Amino acid sequence: MHAGSAVAVAATFVWLGMVVAISFVEAPLKFRAPGVTLQVGLGIGRLVFRALNAAEAVLAVVVIAGLVLGRGSTGAGWPAGVAVAALVLQVLAVRPALARRSQQVLAGADGPRSRAHLGYVGLEVVKVIGLAGTGVLLLGGFA
């Protein structure tokens, strides 16, 4: 395996682990902790997801660079591109709507849950599938 591909594999699985751990484990569980109100949970969530998205952006660059430097075929490039596109959509299209809604809740407003949250979760699932596919293809030597 070329060094670029090895770096891409490592970055892919670190990224995948971060998304699964934060989005599918930490985020739902924090609201079950004793004493964590909706406002506290949202405040924590805003900080955590801002940091996650920043780390994801760095990892996306590393994955893409590893794929380019790995000089392989574009086999793993497609699922990696899907993961990167999902991240871009989350950050540019969905997160602003979530930020507006969480700001309203933090200010004391009531109202229905944001549908943007479902969009974010759906894109997380797409991202996980893309990252898993990228990692498997890279490890399988199809990249």
At position 64, the amino acid (one-letter code) is I
Cβ atoms of 8 and 67 within 8 Å: the answer is yes
Quote the pLDDT of residue 74.
62
State how far the alpha carbon of 35 is from the alpha carbons of 3, 31, 41, 86, in Å: 47, 9, 10, 33
Confidence of residue 133 (pLDDT cuts 50, 70, 90): very high
Exposed/middle/buried for residue 38 (C-beta within 10 Å: 0-12, 13-18, 19+): exposed
Total H helices, total E strands in the chain = 6, 0
Tens digit of each residue's pLDDT (9 = 90 or more) over 22-45 = 999 998 888 888 998 888 888 899
Quote the pLDDT of residue 22.
96
Model pTM? 0.90
Confidence of residue 110 (pLDDT cuts 50, 70, 90): confident
**CA 114, CA 45: separation in Å to the nearest integer?**
15
**CA 77, CA 67: separation in Å to the nearest integer?**
7
Place of tokens 């670029």: 4
**CA 133, CA 143: separation in Å to the nearest integer?**
11
Quote the pLDDT of residue 73.
58
Residue 142 has pLDDT above 80, yes or no: no
